[in-house]
Amino acid sequence: GAGVSQSPSNKVTEKGKDVELRCDPISGHTALYWYRQSLGQGLEFLIYFQGNSAPDKSGLPSDRFSAERTGGSVSTLTIQRTQQEDSAVYLCASSLAGGPPDTQYFGPGTRLTVL
Amino acid sequence: KQEVTQIPAALSVPEGENLVLNCSFTDSAIYNLQWFRQDPGKGLTSLLLIQSSQREQTSGRLNASLDKSSGRSTLYIAASQPGDSATYLCAVLETSGSRLTFGEGTQLTVNP
């Protein structure tokens, strides 16, 4: 595709429910990243994929958060038993090979609201 | 732990002014520094990327400088226009080569 796409664009859920957020990277990009942007916290790194492996998942805030990537392409970020503090915009990015001097290209984000 | 700070947090200027946005980072062991633009409800658009070995990059009315030893970068916008109104984010790529560490951003408003 022309750019990184994410779905849904908006998600409203009730506290305690599970949610899945999807990211489609730019075709041919082997590296994929998830970030979270929340009020008062700025933009924080969550996890990095190289192919289907996640060499750096140190940014995941708790064991309620998990992510997978299949076929070296689509990635899904899953949040179990959502809490109100999980409300944020979740941004996905991809880059050609990962690491410098690659530029990370960002998707439009998924705005998650937990009631 | 790398920390990135942006000053000012918000800036409002009349159209036509030249302006400077500031970014500082605590750990100079970076591969590169990137400036992004974010419009409300949108993702991030990369504006300029400066490798650690470079001093500046230019694109149109934008010029970004990097002083790695002092942990500072500036984004200079010449002849500002209302369409420049957005949040500008500075981010550094750490030596691990994977994660970007972002500042909190400068919210710019250019008034016609």
Contact residues on chain A for B44, CB-CB shorter than 8 A: 91, 93, 106
Note which residues in 12-71 of chain B have CB less than 8 A from chain A.
Answer: 31-32, 34, 36, 41-46, 49, 51
pLDDT band at A50 (very low <50, low <70, confident <90, very high): very high
The partner residues of A13 in beta bridges, in order of sequence, read A114
**B103 has a chain A CB within 8 A of its CB:** yes
**A72 has a chain B CB within 8 A of its CB:** no
Per-residue pLDDT of chain B (112 residues; tens, 9 = 90+): 899 999 999 999 999 999 999 999 999 889 899 999 999 878 899 999 999 999 999 999 999 999 999 999 999 999 999 999 999 999 999 877 678 999 999 999 999 9
Share of chain A above pLDDT 70, in %: 96
Rg of the Cα atoms in chain B = 13
Of A109, A113, A112, which Cα lies nearest the Cα of A7? A109
**B96 has a chain A CB within 8 A of its CB:** yes
With a CB cutoff of 8 Å and minimum separation 6, the contacts of A101 are B31, B32, B49, B51
With a CB cutoff of 8 Å and minimum separation 6, the contacts of B26 are B1, B2, B3, B4, B71
pLDDT > 80? residue A13: yes
Q: Which pLDDT score, from 0 to 100, does residue B94 have?
A: 82
DSSP, collapsed to helix, strand or coil, labels residue B51 as strand
With a CB cutoff of 8 Å and minimum separation 6, the contacts of B75 are B20, B21, B23, B35, B47, B48, B62, B63, B64, B88, B90
Q: Which pLDDT score, from 0 to 100, does residue B42 have?
A: 81
Place of tokens 């500082």: B24
* pLDDT tens profile B1-10: 899 999 999 9
Question: How far apart are alpha carbons A87 and B80 in whole angstroms?
Answer: 34
Question: Which contacts qualify for B40-43: CB closer than 8 Å, 24 or more apart?
Answer: B41/A108, B41/A111, B42/A108, B42/A109, B43/A4, B43/A91, B43/A106, B43/A107, B43/A108, B43/A109
pLDDT > 90? residue A101: no
- Report, as an integer, the average pLDDT of A16-32: 96
> Could B93 and A107 be called an inter-chain contact, meaning their C-beta atoms sit closer than 8 Å?
no
pLDDT band at A103 (very low <50, low <70, confident <90, very high): confident
CB atoms within 10 A of CB B74: 17
Terminal-to-terminal C-alpha distance of chain B: 41
pLDDT > 70? residue A1: no
Pairs of residues, one from chain A and one from chain B, whose beta carbons lie less than 8 Å apart: 62
* pLDDT tens profile A71-92: 889 999 999 999 999 999 999 9
- Report, as an integer, the average pLDDT of A39-64: 90
Q: Which pLDDT score, from 0 to 100, does residue A102 have?
A: 78
Could you say which DSSP state residue A84 is in?
A: G
| Token code pair at residue A14 | 């009730």
- Closest-CA distance, B49 to chain A, in angstroms, reads 8
Q: Which pLDDT score, from 0 to 100, does residue A53 have?
A: 93
